[in-house]
Amino acid sequence: MPRNAGSGAATEHLVRITHPFHPFSGQQLLCVGERYNRSGRRLLLRIDDKSYCSVPPKWTDMSEPDPEISMGRERALFTV
């Protein structure tokens, strides 16, 4: 039977939460899929056998480095 919605990412892998104010900051969680909503791409992370959370990729170690910080060799105190 054909589906009309994407099933997300097919492979599972570990992702570390890097956002400093997230309750699971610094922890590695299993990424079980990806979803898209009006806010953009979201990662589905399994917390335990019954709980999941959805976070944007930029809150994890999967995010691309900020070009301003990379070019400034992490010396900039603020970004525009």
Domain ranges of the chain: 13-71
Is residue 48 within 8 A of residue 67, CB to CB? The reply is: no
Q: How far apart are CA 67 and CA 76, in angstroms?
A: 11
Label residue 37 left, alpha or beta by phi (over 0 means left) and psi (-120 to 50 means alpha): beta
For residue 71, name the pLDDT band (cuts at 50, 70, 90): confident
Average pLDDT over residues 11-19: 89
pLDDT of residue 9 exceeding 50:
no
